Chain A
Amino acid sequence: MTWSSALPVLVILSSLGPGLVIFGLAEHRTRARTALNVAAALTKLGLVGIILVGVLRGEQFQARIPFVPGADLLLRVDSFALLFVSLSTVLWLVTTIYAVGYLEGSTQRSRFFGFFSLSVSATMGIAMAGNLLTFFVFYELLTIATYPLVVHEGTPAALRAGTTYLRYTFFGGALLLVGTAALYVTVGSIDFVDGGVLRSAAESSSRATLVFIFVLLLAGLSVKAAVVPFHGWLPAAMVAPAPVSALLHAVAVVKAGAFGITRVIYEVYGIRVAARLGLMRPVVVIAAVTIIYGSLKALAQHDLKRRLAYSTVSQVSYIVLGTALVGTISTVGAVVHLVHQGLMKVTLFFCAGNLAHELHIHDVREMRGVARRMPLTMLAFTLASLGMIGIPPLAGFITKWYLGAGALEAHAPWVIVVLLASSLLNAAYLLPIVYDAWFREPRTEWPGRTGGREIDGWLLGPTLTAAALALAAGVFAGTSLSPLGWAIRIAREEFTG
């Protein structure tokens, strides 16, 4: 096993191994657990760094483990994989630290952090999957690893949410499995290839079959991506503790769905074939519907996390939309939003977590004047909100700009209307919160806190870090190593492939 083939495996093991050890740790050994977590996260960060340098040098990182006949477990690091890997790794570090603070004194933490690490490992596998089967394997592992986190609190509500989560995701998994098998049988290869594996096979096999398989795959992936009508689990799952929401919304799950959709469209079917089969327009429409629907539902929610959840439903479909528009520019928008949405949404959930943890605020109507009590938290919240809405020069603006331009490039000007509408709706469900928090009198005096700081550093630190990252992603978008820089690089690969 050479160095270049060992690295991808190590990236997975760097969280899997510690995760398994953490399961074994006794409940009270908080310090050991935290040390192990942080050490693992930093190790992974280091490994990703090494790979990053390597990829920039043009090295190939690939590991192959024989699996079922005809399809190995294949881990391959291309730019797109690397983007997702880096995002998840960074956010894992941040979220882990946040979780340590958030869950202080709660029970079953060894189990929690164990499964947390497992989830991240699964995500790494999804990101680096070199073929559809490998993707599926980790996709299902992610489902299983996240379930215990969703039901972590063990309350009836949590258990109900968990069951809903499983119903949706297993259903999606089943569709994905059948789709993958069908693809394997009809095409003979299920590898991810720049430009798509179907380019050659498309002629040989019937259009109906290919469309059918495409529908199976997309439906299966749309469940995790929370695309309407498969979004039901996401709002339900917000009963989970804030770090879990961060994991579901930003680090892993919905991302996995969107990422998979992009892979299938670009590297399995290939945009040309997909477009020729006339599959893209419907996807664009569904994405557009989801964007608007999600925003409208968000507007109707009073529970802060619920509102954020619907906001995710809407925001993730930006990625789907950009992918389906089929154009270099829109692809850039889609890919970069994978990162931007992650950074912004993780910030927002951290803030929501801070409010719930410190002041037991769950309802947006309780947030009047909360900024006086927690200015830094609300600063982060405000930044992220403005980013979501798409105020220049923040991250969200970059996304929407590229998507809009992409829409024109793809001769779908109506999409711009959708984008504008959703931006207005974003503003409508986020700005009032911000306004209330900063400029209105609190109903009651907030319970004070000894030590003067607005909240424990374990919680505040990650929140501000995430916000800073979201800000930086927008401000420094010009640089080549920025998410945008990578997105452009990726888009180029996808289209030259």
Chain B
Amino acid sequence: MSAWSIYACSGAAIIALSLYGVFACAPLLKRILAANLIGTGVFLILVALADRSAPAQPDPVPHALVLTGVVISVSATALALAIAIRLADRRSSDDEGGWP
């Protein structure tokens, strides 16, 4: 049982748990968290796979993919939070300058 496979399994577990969270948690904020965490799980698997060649230097491509993925997941989470805030904030003005 090498390091990478341990983390890969951990990633699988995270994916399963957070998938459950997205579809089965009541609070929207938790669903947003869960969606973000699926990403963490996927990234863990990717990076683990990249490290299969250890102790030789790891495969840089998955690392790059993960960096791209992280940016996307941050963007998504931030956007989701912004919308959630608007939903929750009773004072939010529905006015958007009278869009047609």
Task: Check whether chain A touches chain B (CB < 8 angstroms).
Answer: no
Listed in ascending order, the chain A residues whose CB lies under 8 Å from chain B are none
Listed in ascending order, the chain B residues whose CB lies under 8 Å from chain A are none
